[in-house]
Chains A and B, each alone.
Chain A
Amino acid sequence: MDENSSPVIEIRDPALDGQAIAQAVREQAIQRRAQGAQLVDWTALVPELLQPDISASDSDAEAGFPGLRESLAELIGRSKLEEPDFQSAAPLIGPVVVAVRRLWNWMSTKWYVRPILWQQSEVNFRTSHVISDLAQWHELDTRRVSQLEVRLAELEARLARIEPSSRLSARAEDKP
């Protein structure tokens, strides 16, 4: 079914004959359009998407260096350190090696290393967010600079238009 033949109206209430209603609506719309076409300016309804006034907007603002957002998202995602799981590829004795290493870690290093991991995760986490905030402000500042540049160009153009006429009037005033 192509886009134009698919139904516009959809009624899902089983107590109503949705298809019949949609068909009646379609026929009525065709009939009304034929009868009163002059009442509606159909050309005024296109384009369907409302377009921003690009000159007045900030869509031309550069959004920082390429890939920054992706890098920041990845940084935040990786900020929390994870404890590695022991693995061994050794045949037969592999599970024993893993169990011994786990036991040794539990006895000797776990209680010392884990708080450090937490602290480091906390630092990573805060750092990544500070960087994220700074990047956000950088983008906003870039946008403001861009807007100011547009404004400056407008003012310079206006000034250029005013200057010759003011020179002319100044010369006229100089004449006796």
Chain B
Amino acid sequence: MRVHQLYCAAIPGDAIGNLILELDLRLRSWGFESFIFAQHIDPEMAGRVRPDHEYLSYLHAADDLLIYHYGLHTSNVRYFQAARSRRLLMYHNITPAHYFRGWDRELELLCDIGRRTLPSLIDCDLAVGDSDYNRRELVAVGFPAEKTDVLPLALLLSRFETLPAEQGLLEDLRREGLVNFLTVGRVAPNKAIEDVIRIFYIYHQAINPRSRLYVVGSRYLPAYDRALDALVAGLELGDAVRFTGPVFDPQVLKAYYQAADLYLCASYHEGFCVPLLESMYFGVPVLARKAAAVPETLGDAGVLFSRLGYAEVAEMAHMLVTDQALKAQVVARQQERLQEMAPSRVETRLQHLLARLGVLPA
């Protein structure tokens, strides 16, 4: 039996793309013919992903399964709407358009259209969110609750298991003995990188000047980048804040996590937040804003901040870095939370979903 996965852009290192590759591996191991299609394909991914128009030859194959990964509007959503096969929507959440207002009109528009298109996908066979937060959004726009489910993105961690950290980088990051704060993800307004910088500023100025903030992720919004650069300059943080750009290599990413003393997340909107899971995996204590799907992903692990008292959040960061007993308990609880979303459990859940669609025995 054939299973097709269709999505927006095949870019190496992208969380949705990594999930698709992990699903592809499992589907093949369970005996399915598995194909991946995307509208934009990075040359590095060309061997594994086919142009989305090639999916059209399967459009009327009623016995196939089409999995559509939806995280941004793409015109290939119409293939999903028109497909005669069984259809599984995997909703990775679309950032509300207003976060991009004034920063990037094109993204604002694509997010807006993406969210407006969501109700037209209601007649699919099953719609799955990475989190219950995402699932509830589907129900809120009209998806019947009984046709929705949850599949966490926890399969992604298996890529770190066998690979060592990039040793040279790890040594560099640890060389000066500084306290390293880390935040990972696209440098985008919904992630409120400015708040991460401000919290770090208080910590760096008032608590521990021997500290550094690493912002690991692609910078793709020039206006937002300029505003962040101006903020860093205005706070005279200079070299203490480092924007690394995108990191696709899991060994390099592993080095950043292993060198981190604290993971700081100020995001206002996350449909799941894979870096939280990665921080748990690498034993880095998490301090995160209580917003969107973040509390659900963390469960009762990590530490949340509910409003922005910069001084208190910075003080909490200091406590998480220096109070070894507290840190040990937070990390231990994070590990327990991670076990609740272990890849083996997610695989079982995926099999359950495929059984619901009648493509695997119940």
Nearest CB of chain B from residue A119's CB, rounded to whole Å: 12
Nearest CB of chain B from residue A57's CB, rounded to whole Å: 5
Q: Tell me which residues across on chain B come within 8 A of A122, comparing CB atoms.
A: 82
**In the complex, residue of chain A having the shortest beta-carbon distance to the beta carbon of B117:** A76
Q: How far is the CA of A24 from the CA of B316 in the complex (A)?
A: 9
Given contacts A39-B205, A41-B235, A59-B105, contact A14 B300 (CB under 8 A): yes
**Cβ-Cβ contact count across A and B, 8 Å cutoff:** 140
Convert A1-31 into 0s and 1s, putting 1 for each residue whose CB lies closer than 8 angstroms to a CB of B. Answer: 0010011111111111000010011101100
A61 contacts B105, C-beta separation under 8 Å: yes
Binds A, one of B5-13, B162-170, B303-311: B303-311
Given contacts A15-B329, A32-B206, A136-B113, contact A53 B227 (CB under 8 A): yes
Q: How far is the CA of A68 from the CA of B189 in the complex (A)?
A: 26
Q: Tell me which residues across on chain A come within 8 A of B120, comparing CB atoms.
A: 76-77, 79
Q: Tell me which residues across on chain B come within 8 A of A140, comparing CB atoms.
A: 105-106, 109
B81 contacts partner chain A, Cβ-Cβ < 8 Å: yes
Binds B, one of A44-52, A95-103, A167-175: A44-52
Binds A, one of B194-202, B241-249, B350-358: B194-202
Q: How far is the CA of A26 from the CA of B306 in the complex (A)?
A: 14
A84 contacts partner chain B, Cβ-Cβ < 8 Å: no
**In the complex, residue of chain B having the shortest beta-carbon distance to the beta carbon of A13:** B333
A25 contacts B201, C-beta separation under 8 Å: no
B145 contacts partner chain A, Cβ-Cβ < 8 Å: no
B103 contacts A3, C-beta separation under 8 Å: no
Q: Tell me which residues across on chain A come within 8 A of B202, comparing CB atoms.
A: 40, 45
Q: How far is the CA of A26 from the CA of B69 in the complex (A)?
A: 43
B226 contacts A53, C-beta separation under 8 Å: yes
B48 contacts partner chain A, Cβ-Cβ < 8 Å: no
A50 contacts B116, C-beta separation under 8 Å: no
B144 contacts partner chain A, Cβ-Cβ < 8 Å: no
**In the complex, residue of chain A having the shortest beta-carbon distance to the beta carbon of B290:** A10
Report which of B81, B112, B224 forms a contact with A69, defined as CB distance below 8 A: B112
B75 contacts partner chain A, Cβ-Cβ < 8 Å: yes
A156 contacts partner chain B, Cβ-Cβ < 8 Å: no
B113 contacts A132, C-beta separation under 8 Å: yes
Q: How far is the CA of A52 from the CA of B101 in the complex (A)?
A: 9
Convert B316-343 into 0s and 1s, putting 1 for each residue whose CB lies closer than 8 angstroms to a CB of A. Answer: 1001000000100110010000000000
Q: How far is the CA of A79 from the CA of B195 in the complex (A)?
A: 44
Q: How far is the CA of A136 from the CA of B101 in the complex (A)?
A: 16
Nearest CB of chain A from residue B236's CB, rounded to whole Å: 9
B301 contacts partner chain A, Cβ-Cβ < 8 Å: yes
B206 contacts A40, C-beta separation under 8 Å: yes
Given contacts A26-B312, A32-B315, contact A16 B326 (CB under 8 A): yes
A139 contacts B82, C-beta separation under 8 Å: no
What are the nearest 7 A-B pairs in CB distance?
Answer: A52-B102, A12-B300, A8-B309, A29-B311, A59-B102, A10-B304, A73-B116
Q: 7 A-B contacts, Cβ less than 8 Å apart?
A: A21-B326, A72-B116, A76-B120, A79-B120, A80-B123, A133-B75, A139-B105
